[in-house]
Structure 1
């Protein structure tokens, strides 16, 4: 398991990657996240993490809560 600083960095990198992919494909980040998480789009960095986060969101968590739970972060860390 990564230490807290590295978990925060990994979380930030994943969000940056999502935003860059959204900008490159001219899609809404939320729409792209759903496509990545459901497996409709593959072959991208963090694909497995997007899938796990999408699973958390399907269980009733919002995106930020899913990130907190997935990375074991405290509310002020995101």
Structure 2
């Protein structure tokens, strides 16, 4: 039964893509397409990462006071 619904949804997606595609080159507005792509890229560029994402081990291990100079590679004997 699930295969049937997946097939129906795939068919609907294909039909909607065919109907949405411009029929002739005169109907295709290149400037409008560039504006849409520009808006999508600017929206992606302006998104902010969560502060919890992408923390390195050094940032995670460092003390909250910031006095530690923690590095992955030791700088030698002290």
Relative to the length of structure 2, the TM-score reads 0.27
Q: Choose between structure 1 and 2: higher helix proportion.
A: 1
Q: Name which structure has the greater RCO, CA cutoff 8 Å, separation 6+.
A: 1
User: Could you say which structure has the larger radius of gyration?
Assistant: 2
